[in-house]
Amino acid sequence: MSAIKVVLRKKENKDGSFPLAIRITRDRRTSFIHLGYNLHEKHWDAPGQKVKKSHPNSVRMNNLIAAKVAEANEKALELDAAKKHVSAKAVTQKIKPKAGDTVFSQADLYIERLKADGKYNRWNSEKSNVKHLKEFLKHDIGFSDLSVSLLERFKAHLIAKHKVSERTAINKLVTVRCIFSQAIKEGVCDSKYYPFGKGKIKIKFPDSKKVGLTVDEVKAIENATLNDEANHARNLWLISYYFAGMRVSDVLRLKWSDFQDGRLYYTMGKNRKGDSLKVSDKVMSILKQYEHIKSEDIDLIFPDIRYADLESKFDTEMKIKSRINVIDRILRTEVATTAKIAKPLTMHIARHTFGNISGDRIPIQMLQKLYRHTDIKTTIGYQANFIHKDVDEALAAVLG
């Protein structure tokens, strides 16, 4: 049988603390599993094999110790049942976590893979989420310690200390969920520790307010007298609106070859769904403004990302993100001011504007096709932000 005990190793650290480890003894031979914590002797109850209450994280650390000792005993019994002769080292190797089994190592791997996959936008936002998680935890831990209560405290910490919104805090929990799922898929974490789902942490985003422009406001944008830079930003916004709220990333990627026989043929970058749309006279009028920069070498209509490495998905997304920031600033400070639009004017508002003006005039199935939503439930949920007729009539019936 194996003797399992929690001890402080004798090798002292520079700060006077000692490594906390599980010592496994079998046939007079010992092996150690380090738990990733360092303690000063004054905080360690050697006979009780636990952290004293004087330590600020005593409860959390003692829970970890109990879990690790239980796991060690379980693995030792498994090996004993399988073999008559088992060394202390064999027991240790069975219990020792695999490489990359900790939260920090899997988080780093997750971020690296986003970059390798060319997903700049997610890489750019989620590396910040990982940074906040690491700052909160302070030191690396195993996935079994990333409990529901710990993540609830993490969420509360984000809202209280970093003053983030409920939606932003949930976005950071989504990153944690992705890291956890990756660890399970990699086989370095047991699914029984998964802290999300029924009876645990549920990921539910609060309803966000989606505001679109009115027909008159769109006309004001169309008729505004603008300088060249602001006119270009307006053109991009109108192209998005004229094509049922086309995403700005797709607008900037539009090519001359996408337009054939009076129709636009393109594949949406987000979900790779393809279709075609009729090109209106208003769109043709905008395209003519860019014919003078048409090039045989570059098929792109708009000049915004011509300097990007289009063979690199990561570099292209990075350049698109940079241009969106510039375009949105011009829309807010120049286009909206000149057109006397009080609402926040951004490229994304073009999509909301199409939803607001279409209202309940277009069948939901056709809107799903225009928006290129995979699930019609997404369309129903999105369009619900802009359909007010029934509610308004009900309210008027009472107040009438």
164/54 same-domain check: no
Give the model confidence (pLDDT) of 356-366 as tens digits: 777 666 666 66
One-letter amino acid at 268 equals M
25/120 same-domain check: no
How many residues can be counted in the chain?
Answer: 400
In a domain, 137, yes or no: yes
In a domain, 200, yes or no: no
In a domain, 365, yes or no: yes
Q: Which residue has the tokens 């369009």?
A: 383
Q: Which of 61, 95, 129 is the last residue of a domain?
A: 95
Please state, in angstroms and as integers, the Cα–Cα distance from residue 65 to each residue in 33, 340, 346, 347, following that order: 11, 64, 52, 52
In a domain, 143, yes or no: yes
Q: The CATH number of the domain where 145 resides is what?
A: 1.10.150
Q: Quote the Cα angle for 132-34-24, to 5°.
A: 150
- Rounded CA gap, 200 and 176, in Å? 14
Residues 6 or more apart in contact with residue 216 via CB below 8 angstroms? none
56/114 same-domain check: no
Tokens of 324: 């969106």
In a domain, 353, yes or no: yes
Query: What total of structural domains would you count in the chain?
Result: 3
Which of these, 67, 179, 52, 160, lies nearest to 113 by C-alpha position? 179
In a domain, 184, yes or no: yes
- As a whole number of angstroms, the longest Cα–Cα distance in the chain is 90
- For residue 187, the model assigns a pLDDT of 79
Dihedral angle sign, alpha carbons of residues 184, 189, 195, 197: positive
119/146 same-domain check: yes
260/362 same-domain check: yes
Give the model confidence (pLDDT) of 297-331 as tens digits: 889 999 999 888 888 889 999 999 999 999 999 99
- For residue 358, the model assigns a pLDDT of 75
251/186 same-domain check: no
In a domain, 199, yes or no: no
Which comes out higher in pLDDT, residue 276 or 39?
A: 39
Give the model confidence (pLDDT) of 266-280 as tens digits: 776 555 566 778 889
Please state, in angstroms and as integers, the Cα–Cα distance from residue 277 to each residue in 186, 196, 197, 261, 307, following that order: 43, 41, 40, 11, 28
In a domain, 153, yes or no: yes
10/141 same-domain check: no
86/219 same-domain check: no
- For residue 367, the model assigns a pLDDT of 61
Q: Which of 34, 67, 95 is the last residue of a domain?
A: 95
Task: Look up the domain containing 238 and give its range.
Answer: 215-394
Which of these, 317, 319, 322, 343, lies nearest to 331 by C-alpha position? 343
176/226 same-domain check: no
Whether residue 192 contacts residue 71, with contact meaning beta carbons closer than 8 Å, is answered with no
Whether residue 89 contacts residue 31, with contact meaning beta carbons closer than 8 Å, is answered with yes
Look up the pTM and report it: 0.63
Tokens of 337: 């001011």
- Rounded CA gap, 269 and 40, in Å? 55
332/221 same-domain check: yes
Give the model confidence (pLDDT) of 191-225 as tens digits: 899 999 988 998 887 766 667 788 899 999 999 99
Q: Which of 95, 129, 144 is the last residue of a domain?
A: 95
Please give the average per-residue pLDDT across 286-307, as a whole number: 90
